[in-house]
Amino acid sequence: MDESSEWKVFYDSVHGHIALDPLLVKIIDTPQFQRLRNIKQLGGDYFVFPGASHNRFEHSIGVAHLAGKLVQNLRTDKSLDITDTDELCVKIAGLCHDLGHGPFSHVFEGFMKELNPKSNWKHEEMSVRMFDYLIEENGIGEVMRNEYKFKSKDFQFIKELIYGPNPPNSKNPEDSHSAQDPQESLQFLGCITQWAYKGRTREKSYLYQIVNNQTTGIDVDKMDYFSRDCHHLGIKCNFSHERYLVFARVCIDEELGAQICIRDKEAMNMYELFHIRSHLHHNFYHHRVTKAVENMIVNALIAADKKLAISAAVKDPSAYMKLTDFILQQILDSTDPELSTAREIVERLSKRDLYKFIDGKTCKPKDVKHLDSAEKWKAKLVAWVEHAKKEAGGQQTQFTAEDFIIMPVKINYGKNEDNPIGCLRFYKKDKTDKPIRLSKDEVSYLLPEKFAEIKVMVFYKGKDKLGVDLMKTHSEKLWEELQKAPKDQ
C-alpha cells in the first residue's frame, strides 16, 4: 500500500494520540499548511507568557480531531443520514479553518483595520482563498474529485463551514451550482430567513454548528483553543469538551430547525465554556503588556507596509503564504533606510522597551455606548492630552495625542450583552428527541447577571518618563470625559 494512503497518528499535547485520514495528511503535508507552524496562536502573548509558544499548526490539527469526534458521535443516530463525505468535509474544514491567519494571528487583523478603519477583512475570508489555493497548487482537488468522489457542492460546503454563508472567491474545482432552491426558508431564532447555504440543505443545518457555530458560538474551534491555551498558559480549564462530545445530539426545534442540543445536566459545563472565554480574554488575550507588544507589532507592520507590500499580500495567496511571524526578524535584519522606523520599533521590542501603560478601566457597555467609532474615542483622547498639557503649565511637554493609544476592548460571553445559553437547546434523559430551553434559575442561582464589559487601556508610545508620570496624574479626568455623552444624545 502507498504510504501516503495510510492513516497517520499524531501525538498532541492536549488530546493525546490523534489518527487522521490520508486526505487530511495530504493537506497537512503542503507548504500552505506547514506555514502555520510559524504563526503564534496567541500573538503577542508569547512576549509575556513564555509557555504560550504554541502555533496555529497544532491547533488546526486539534480542531480537525474534535470535529471528527463530534460527527462520529452524531452519526450514531442513523436517522440523520450523515455520510462519509459529510464527515470528511467537516474534518477538512476544521483542519483548514485557520489557513488565512496572518503574522501573530489576530494581530494581523488589527493591522489591516488600522490601515483602513472601514475594512471588514477577516482571516476566515483568507482561509477560504488559501484553501482553494492549497488544493489547486498541490493537486489535492483532483484527488478529492477522483478518489473521494467530491462534487462541487462538497467543496462549497467546506468553505461555508469555515466562513459562513456566501464565502468569498467561490470559484470551485468544478463549476458551482446551487445545492437547493435559494428561496428555501429556515426558522432561525424565531424569524423567517432565507436558507443561505449551498453546500448542504437545511435538513443538515446542524453540521454548520460544528466548526464555526454562528448560532450559539459553541463549536470545536473554541473547545480546542480554550483547552490548548489554558494548557500552555499554565492555568486550569474547567470546561470539559469530552463531556460535550458525549452528550451532544441533534434535535428538531420548531424555531431553529435541526440543532445540536446538549443534555440538561451539562448546563453548568456550558456556562464554564463561556466563563473561561471571558477569563482568557480579560487576563491573557488582553493583558496590558500583551496589548503594548501587539500595538508595537502593528505599528512596525504599518511602517514597513509600503516597502514590503504586506497588506497587498492579502490579494495574492502565493504572496500571502510567505507572511509569517518571521517578518519581524526580516525587518530587524534589514539595512534598508525605508524600514528605519519599523526597525526602530522592532529593536525596542527586542530590548523590552515597550509602550508604557498609563492606566486602564473596565466600563459598562452602556456607559460608553455613545463612543461608537474610532474617531470619537480619538477625540476624547485628544481632549484629555490637551487638558493635561494645559495643567502642566511650565513643564516641558513635547508630546501630542499621536504619542498615545487608547484601546477599548469588548469582552463578553460571545453574544455581546446577551446570555449565549439562551440560544442553546437542551434535552432531558427521558425525552432525548425534544429540545427545551433552560432558564437561569433552572441551572443555578449563582450565575452571572451581566455578560459584557469594555476594558479600556491607554498607552504612551514615547520614552519620556515625564510624559508617563504627568498623564497618570490626570487619568481620572479621562475616565470622567469618556462617560460624558454629547448633550444631543
Q: What are phi and psi of 367, to 5 degrees?
A: -75, -20
Task: Say if strands 8-12 and 16-20 run parallel, antiparallel, or are unpaired.
Answer: antiparallel
Contacts 24+ apart (CB under 8 A), 48-54: 48/287, 48/289, 48/290, 48/293, 49/232, 49/233, 49/234, 49/284, 51/232, 51/233, 51/234, 52/229, 52/232, 52/233, 52/284, 53/232, 54/13, 54/228, 54/229, 54/232
Residue 264 contacts residue 25 (beta carbons within 8 Å): no
Cell of 470: 504627568
Task: Say if strands 257-263 and 426-428 run parallel, antiparallel, or are unpaired.
Answer: parallel
Whether 123 is a known active-site residue: answer yes
Residue 220 contacts residue 241 (beta carbons within 8 Å): yes
First to last CA, the chain: 72
> Could you write out the DSSP letters of every residue in 182-224?
TT-EEEETTEEEE---SSS-GGGGGGGGSSS-TTTS--HHHHH
| CA 413/CA 184 separation, integer angstroms | 31
- Partners of 458 in the beta sheet? 359, 406
Of 54, 123, 241, 286, the catalytic one is 123
Q: For 352, left (φ over 0), alpha (ψ -120 to 50), or beta?
A: left
Residue 267 contacts residue 421 (beta carbons within 8 Å): yes
Residue 390 DSSP code: H
CA angle centred on 300, ends 294 and 305, rounded to 5°: 125
SS3 362: strand
Residue 94 contacts residue 64 (beta carbons within 8 Å): yes
Q: What positions carry a catalytic annotation?
A: 123
